[in-house]
Amino acid sequence: MSGHPDPRTPLARFGGRLATGLRDVTSDPAALDSAGHWAVAYDFEGRLTCARFDEVRPAPAPPSGAGWRGPEAGSWHSSLDRAAYTAGVRRIREHIAAGEVYQANLCRVLSAPLPEPDRSDVDALTGLLAHGNPAPYAGTIRLPGHGVEIATASPELYLRRTGRTVSSGPIKGTGRTEDDLLDKDHAENVMIVDLVRNDLGRVCETGSVTVPDLCAVEKHPGLVHLVSTVEGTLREGAGWPELLAATFPPGSVTGAPKSSALRIIEALETAPRGPYCGAVGWVDADRGEAELAVGIRTFWIDRTDPDAPVLRFGTGAGITWGSDPEREWAETELKAARLVAIASGSEPGGESGSGSDPTRA
């Protein structure tokens, strides 16, 4: 296949590899323990799409911007406006005060109409993101016939698997620079590390779960994150169904305890997260290897109304007792501004968060 692929042709692109020749699609996670190369998209609400491809070859990122016409910069709308989001932060602090939860991730979904649907190739958007906002788990899953069109610039590892060894890299704590990080950010990270240790402990051999890195500072375009690493050895008899059941949705984008956080999230958020905060990546069943990212810094096309397709993007923040509502709103703005500008065709090197803000409702 030469040149830029047809924007309706199924493909997956991760880690410098391009997968083409769609063989089959299933929602059964046990298929990931069978054979072949799979692309995986797992919506936050639980819709799992596993697509097996026949051909995988090394390939650079797609040409930057070829085949992409994004939304107008001023056309974005948020599922929660500033007043609703800050009120949600205050409500979560009330839940914390009542002892129901220690931390909960509050998110909002940004949406904008696509002015030229025929120039809405998510793989081309991946090329733009690779140029303007490079990320370690960037990639594309393009399955228009199955309602999956995702372009991600995720910096966060949900699950890596090498044989029986599994690891996760939760991110908690975000600032423009390292000096912006607060004690609250470190506390938030440690809480989620405990949650991820518990999740992996449900499917790993007793005593095998460790934390090789705690609260390491990682620099990304326009911001910094605190990142930890948790790993363990998958117990005998546990495969992908058990691993996903034990760990999904990812702890860093839910909260602790997870069950309480999920209940609070459902009450406060007004739009489904979809691929945002879910999982996106690849599984090589033949080699026993996999890399699934948390679906943050992720765009997806919603063609529910075929006459009016919409581009969506999620942003959020972890809320603790030490959270300031306005600061948390600003964190969601910081996370979104650069990427939304790139998708809208604005100058990717511009100053994030200045001038008119496309992410406000």
Q: What is the set of active-site residues?
A: 156, 172
Per-position b or e across 3-35, b if 16+ CB within 10 A of its CB: eebebeebbbbbeeebbbebeebeeebebbebe
CB neighbourhood size of 286 (10 A): 10
What SS3 class is residue 238?
Answer: coil
Q: In residues, how long is the chain?
A: 361
The whole-angstrom separation of Cα 290 and Cα 102 is: 31
Instruction: Decide: 348 and 134 in contact? Cβ < 8 Å.
Output: no
| Ramachandran assignment for 275, one of left (phi > 0), alpha (psi -120 to 50 degrees), beta (any other) | alpha
The whole-angstrom separation of Cα 33 and Cα 14 is: 19
The whole-angstrom separation of Cα 197 and Cα 214 is: 12
CB neighbourhood size of 188 (10 A): 28
What SS3 class is residue 186?
Answer: helix
Residue with tokens 């449900």: 202
